[in-house]
Amino acid sequence: MTSSPPRPLRVAVLVCDPLNTSVIAVSGTSDSSASVGPSHAALFTHRLSAAAARLGAAVVTAGYDAYVGDLPPDPAAFDILLLTGSIHGVNDAGPEVEWIRRLVAYIADVVRTDKAAVVGMCFGLQVIAAALGGSVAENPKGWEVGYTSMSLTESGQRYFGSRAPAAIGLLSIHQDEATAVPPGVDLLMSSDKCAVQAFVKENSVFAMQSHPEFNRGIVRELVRYVHLQACELGGAQGTGGQSGSCTDLCTNYLHFLPMPSTRDHSIFTHETHQFTPAFADEVIGKLDGGDAPGDYAAGTHPLSSDWMMDEVVRFVAGRAGVALP
């Protein structure tokens, strides 16, 4: 007699920002350009389903647009609530972002009453940190963008054990950070620029500052979008500060992307405060030129996104009491 398959893991995806249309176009698997759907929820469904399949499990998801105040009325109907990234910050103020205050309070109540577990990525980690009594602020070291090498803490070594790869590299794009882990959680990972890269609390909270759901194509388009917004603002204000920030972002991103041999930084020497679409196309074109085979193929920049998505599924299964094969 064959055993029945485990029940699907139930995940509510709390979308904290709609995907930019150019990002949607490249939100496929690996580094392909295939679209997986017109939403952040569809991207997470795709990535979670792939991870679950690798582990012999299955997931069912439901999407909620948290950025317009849409939240699960019954969080207990799900094993976990997953919070996505966002262009916003937890400390943003104004009536247009009042949804952030409500989201933080909602997550605090869900964790306190143990109605569901919560998982957060990037902005999602920061929401969870704030909800649990931690603190979030702009990173004085600046943006962390692109390929980010991670180191495990002692707690991380115990938590992941032999499942952890020898070298951990994940994709990042954030300016804010959790400045201290909330009470009662275990810090799992850190990077040179950001001390709080991941934390866990028993089977109720799992959060990471990185974006394991992203592939290189998505990060490329996000960086293009952030550069255009920030540098056009700097040009409008007539200041060089924003332009300098964009140069840093470009340089960091170039360091992350695989290039065949040397990395050409000469494209960032333009003396302009206006990061125009034409300049953006030139930068992205240069980056695209080194997209293969590059350093990933050589193994010098191992990407651990699939491993981290697997760990998310393992966490959900543990919370749900579902034994993985």
Return the higher-pLDDT residue of 194 and 276: 194
Which structure tokens are listed for 146?
């692109």
* Distance in Å from the first CA to the final CA of the chain: 17
Query: Do the Cβ atoms of 204 and 118 come closer than 8 Å?
Result: yes
Which structure tokens are listed for 16?
């904290």
Nearest to 139 by CA among 84, 169, 177, 96: 177
With a CB cutoff of 8 Å and minimum separation 6, the contacts of 63 are 12, 13, 15, 39, 40, 41, 42, 45
Query: Which of 6-15, 58-67, 168-177 has the weakest average pLDDT?
Result: 168-177
Q: Is the confidence at residue 203, as pLDDT, over 50?
A: yes
Query: Do the Cβ atoms of 76 and 66 come closer than 8 Å?
Result: no
Q: Is 193 left (phi over 0), alpha (psi -120 to 50) or beta?
A: alpha
How many Å separate Cα 138 from the centre of its chain?
A: 17
Question: What per-residue string of b and e applies to 177-212 under the rule 16 or more CB within 10 Å gives b?
Answer: bbbebbeebbbbbbbebbbbbbbbbebbbbbbbbbb
CA–CA distance from 103 to each of 81, 84, 90, 108 (Å)? 12, 12, 10, 8
How many Å separate Cα 36 from the centre of its chain?
A: 17
Q: Taking residues 57-83, report their average pLDDT.
A: 96
User: Which listed residue (88, 174, 211, 227) is catalytic?
Assistant: 211
User: Which listed residue (16, 40, 88, 122) is catalytic?
Assistant: 122
pLDDT tier at 293, thresholds 50, 70, 90: very low
Query: Do the Cβ atoms of 61 and 11 come closer than 8 Å?
Result: yes
For the stretch 42-45, contacts whose Cβ atoms lie closer than 8 Å and that sit 24 or more positions apart, written own/partner, are 43/19, 43/213, 44/11, 44/13, 44/82, 44/84, 44/213, 45/13
pLDDT tier at 148, thresholds 50, 70, 90: confident
Return the higher-pLDDT residue of 82 and 95: 82
Residue 211 is among the residues annotated as catalytic for this protein: yes
Q: In what order do the strands lie in the sheet with 59-65?
A: 59-65, 9-15, 80-83, 117-121, 205-208, 198-201, 186-190, 144-152, 168-174
Nearest to 47 by CA among 13, 81, 18: 13
Q: Compute the chain's Rg from CA coordinates.
A: 20
**Distance from C-alpha of 301 to C-alpha of 147, rounded to nearest angstrom:** 8
CA–CA distance from 73 to each of 11, 66, 106, 115 (Å)? 14, 12, 10, 11
- The structure's pTM equals 0.77
Query: Do the Cβ atoms of 172 and 223 come closer than 8 Å?
Result: no
- Which among 70-79, 84-93, 299-308 has the top mean pLDDT? 70-79
pLDDT of residue 219: 56
Query: Do the Cβ atoms of 286 and 268 come closer than 8 Å?
Result: no
pLDDT tier at 78, thresholds 50, 70, 90: very high
With a CB cutoff of 8 Å and minimum separation 6, the contacts of 41 are 13, 15, 61, 62, 63
How many Å separate Cα 277 from the centre of its chain?
A: 25
Q: Is the confidence at residue 235, as pLDDT, over 70?
A: no
pLDDT of residue 213: 87
Neighbour tally for 14: CB within 10 Å: 29
User: Which listed residue (144, 177, 213, 311) is catalytic?
Assistant: 213
Residue 154 is among the residues annotated as catalytic for this protein: no
Q: Which amino acid is at 108?
A: A
